[in-house]
Amino acid sequence: MRPVTTAPDLIRVLVCDDQALVRTGYVTIFSAQPNMEVVGEAVNGHKAFASSRLLTPDVVVMDIRMPLLDGIQATRQLAGPDIEDTNPPKVLVVTTFNVDAHVYDALRAGASGFLLKDAPPTELVNAIRTVARGEALLAPAVTRRLIGHFAGHLHPTGNTHPARDDVVRALTPRELEVLQHIAEGLSNTEIAMTLYITPETVKTYVSRILAKLGLRDRVQAVVLAHRTGLAPGPA
């Protein structure tokens, strides 16, 4: 179980990057937030895994290219579909490499978000808050191109993958509409504004969609929507 903190909305963050300067920058940014606490730092994937077990962060900010154990392998150990932890940390992959294969591998490994290191501090902080809430996040520069290109290769967890007709039968028309907006990369707030409903209602729809389709998170919902043709391909 994760420790109970004095502030209910406090987000516990573990920073994992092999560059000391990058880690220092992250710690400075995150520690300045009233609802964030940096509980530890790690210089490679092995250290990240060990520190996560000991410190139980809510979010791990993970680099990809690191010595000994890279960020993809570490993510798979921390948040992959085969782990036994019933409440694993969310992993936000932050990298300088805007390469489709890296994002593809990160999502397959269980990452909840992918962001480029040139993102401004406010975007990075918001990304941590987003994945901490259980939502998925992809850098705007890669979202549609990546998902559209790799939709045929990314699959939900489990042995069965719902076909288009199965998804249509499982969801209500409104849930299908929400799924399509999720696949466009919209946040709950953006979907709420588009459909003229509250963000809380959107959150309820998202939870129902994931439960009905047996999906782990919004990333898998995006992938499934594209793979089944329920969402348009990249522009």
Report the share of the chain in percent with pLDDT over 70: 77
Q: What is the pLDDT of residues 210-225, one digit of tens each?
A: 889 888 777 778 778 8
Which CATH architecture describes the domain 153-227? Orthogonal Bundle (1.10)
Closest CA to 231 of 175, 165, 182: 182
What pLDDT is stored for residue 65 in this prediction? 84
Using DSSP, state whether 232 is helix, strand or coil.
Answer: coil
Greatest mean pLDDT among 36-45, 161-170, 220-229 lies in 36-45
Measured from the Cβ of residue 75, the count of other Cβ atoms closer than 10 Å reads 29
- Domains of the chain, residue spans: 11-141, 153-227
Question: 11-141 in CATH: which number?
Answer: 3.40.50.2300
Using DSSP, state whether 100 is helix, strand or coil.
Answer: helix
Do 11-141 and 153-227 come out as alike in CATH topology?
Answer: no
Q: What is the pLDDT of residues 5-38, one digit of tens each?
A: 434 479 999 999 999 999 999 999 999 999 999 9
Closest CA to 178 of 132, 215, 223, 230: 230
Q: What is the mean pLDDT of residues 40-45?
A: 92
What pLDDT is stored for residue 98 in this prediction? 60
Phi, psi at 152, each rounded to 5°: -75, -10
Q: How far apart, in whole angstroms, are the C-alpha atoms of residue 26 and residue 69? A: 21
Q: What is the mean pLDDT of residues 62-80?
A: 85
Tokens of 7: 């502030």
| Choice between 117 and 232, residue whose per-residue pLDDT is larger | 117
Determine the distance from the C-alpha atom of residue 166 to the mean position of all C-alpha atoms in its chain, rounded to a whole number.
25
Closest CA to 79 of 66, 69, 90: 90
CA distances from 159 to 20, 132, 135, 225 (A): 41, 27, 24, 18
Q: Report the mean per-residue pLDDT for the chain.
A: 79
What pLDDT is stored for residue 169 in this prediction? 87
Q: What is the pLDDT of residues 110-166, one digit of tens each?
A: 888 888 888 889 989 988 998 888 776 665 555 555 555 555 454 444 434 567 888
Whether the CB-CB separation of 223 and 147 falls below 8 Å is answered with yes
| Choice between 141 and 189, residue whose per-residue pLDDT is larger | 189
Which residue has tokens 């690191």?
66
pLDDT band (50, 70, 90) for residue 64? confident
Closest CA to 113 of 101, 121, 122, 126: 126
Tokens of 22: 């990058």
| Choice between 95 and 59, residue whose per-residue pLDDT is larger | 59
Q: How far apart, in whole angstroms, are the C-alpha atoms of residue 185 and residue 149? A: 15
Measured from the Cβ of residue 234, the count of other Cβ atoms closer than 10 Å reads 12
